[in-house]
Structure 1
């Protein structure tokens, strides 16, 4: 009986080890993309998102230890950057892992997209076939990994220093990107959510960030105000009221998200309770009939 139990225990252990050997870690995780050699290029290099990729082997003890950390990181960064993984133990993925110079497990690599220059015509832009990459060598803890990934997000949000400049930007004729979105914020730092909103609507909507308390240069310029009132009376009145309200950084209202369509002399303030990315994108789709190119609400085909 003892011999039978021993044989059964060994067999069960071998069976479990075989399962671990070939099993992908993240197939059922909604926040982590489990890649393979067929999907890697499309997911990593055909996006404007920054991506963190874990190259792992299921039998690796360090990989098993990193798994819950990566899952927590991915949950907090969901919709902000892409978190992906690839099982280098599978035969179909071994060549790719070799091409990426993976020598040990787990290896974390960050892939950063090139910055698109919209001042250059599409046919004249440099066509980057792949994203730049770097090995993540920081602490393998949730907070440091989140901070590092946020620091690697490309920003298409333009900072504005005063209301006069903002007025010139939002009223500038732009047939392809008529909708301008302005985030009036108490914080000087552009939020990662706002950056990814700009990425999702890249080429369709322009995004601006202006810090409360730096408003100046418009209400005292009578010539500019009179000129602006003739063409954009509604937008001009709103900006004048806003400048008066938010001159004092401490007494100004909370963060405000405002949408401008200068061609129609219209503006619409977002009234949602939370500055949630999904809610804001749904608002843009409903009010302006503009569909994001990337992100959870886009028509981009998932793997």
Structure 2
């Protein structure tokens, strides 16, 4: 009777979806490339729903998804499904769970794109704890954000015409945050991001940007027509995108987010396509263009 109950519970888990109603995206062969092989850094769990180790990992992986929401892609592929078996085979999955981090190539925006995009792929062998997985992923995110120590240097950078909108984040934090890194990745090719820490001797910055010295939250501003315009909304990606849309086309960026959001909700996403936007589309790579890089950070059973 106990065995039957266990099988019934497991069957219910499989039919409901291993990561239903969680921040982990259930990916399959139809959407994998469009989500993972982009400018985003991703971690993907290749699993089987009957696997005990996969069930043990599930709570920590969900926590990882919560911490990396709006920062990196946290996905999962059910290798028990027939349609996903070729995908799991391509990525050399031999045991469950297999955690793989996909690192996009660094894009040089100042040179013509004459090279093929290649993703580096790392098999994660570290501790199966959310904190360790989050740190592993964020440390591998590409940085497209320039750091400035003075207002003079910031203005010099802003006045150089790159053909893209210039944006700065003024923050009390001296180190670049994963959120700001991800923001620069989202708008890659459309907006150039920088940040300026509001530490000591920054009275002139407070004055130019009309910031209260006691203000502890980050402030974002766009350089346009020879002046800085401050964002007055919250620092959510939706609010920032709405603000930046006044200065450049963000249609493809919104489309990509909506595509991922639909997959996260278990809905059938709209087909990506339509009018192409200059410099803002995500590069898509085939598996044959993917490099494998195995990195052992921690051994476990």
**TM-score of the pair, normalised by structure 2:** 0.75
Q: Could you say which residue in structure 2 is the equivalent of 1:197? A: 183
Unaligned runs of 5+ in 2: 263-268, 270-301
Matches of residues 252-291 of structure 1 in structure 2 within 5 Å? 254=216, 255-261=218-224, 264-272=225-233, 274-285=234-245, 287-288=246-247, 290-291=249-250
Q: Encode CA deviations 1:156-182: one digit per residue, 9 max, x unaligned.
A: 1111232222111101123x31x2111
Q: Encode CA deviations 1:216-269: one digit per residue, 9 max, x unaligned.
A: 9xx9xxxxxxxxxxxxxxxxxx869449999xxxx67543322111xx223211
Paired residues, what number? 261
Q: Which has the higher helix share?
A: 1
1:88 aligns with 2:97: no
Matches of residues 80-119 of structure 1 in structure 2 within 5 Å? 80-119=71-110
Larger RCO (CA under 8 A, 6+ residues apart): 2
Q: Is the 8 A contact 2:60 2:130 kept in 1?
A: yes
Give the superposed CA RMSD. 3.1
Q: Is the 8 A contact 2:146 2:194 kept in 1?
A: yes
Corresponding residue to 2:29 among 15, 30, 37: 37
| 1:196 match: secondary structure | helix
Q: Is the 8 A contact 1:197 1:281 kept in 2?
A: no
Q: Is the 8 A contact 1:200 1:293 kept in 2?
A: no
Unaligned runs of 5+ in 1: 1-5, 220-237
Q: Could you say which residue in structure 2 is the equivalent of 1:141? A: 129
Task: Judge which range, 184-193 or 292-301, deviates more.
Answer: 292-301
Q: Could you say which residue in structure 1 is the equivalent of 2:272? A: none
| 2:110 match: secondary structure | coil
Q: Is the 8 A contact 1:294 1:300 kept in 2?
A: no
1:25 aligns with 2:25: no
Q: Could you say which residue in structure 2 is the equivalent of 1:70? A: 61
Q: Could you say which residue in structure 1 is the equivalent of 2:142? A: 154
Q: Could you say which residue in structure 2 is the equivalent of 1:206? A: 192
Deviation at 1:49, TM superposition (A): 0.5
Partners of 2:89 and 2:228 in 1: CA distance = 53
Corresponding residue to 1:168 among 140, 150, 156: 156
Larger Rg: 1
Q: Is the 8 A contact 2:222 2:230 kept in 1?
A: yes
Q: Is the 8 A contact 2:168 2:220 kept in 1?
A: yes
Partners of 2:82 and 2:188 in 1: CA distance = 37
Partners of 1:79 and 1:168 in 2: CA distance = 31
| 2:43 match: secondary structure | strand
Distance change in 2, residues 1:292/1:89 (3 Å): same
| 1:294 match: secondary structure | helix
Q: Is the 8 A contact 2:190 2:248 kept in 1?
A: no
Q: Is the 8 A contact 1:186 1:211 kept in 2?
A: yes
Q: Could you say which residue in structure 1 is the equivalent of 2:283? A: none
| 1:85 match: secondary structure | strand
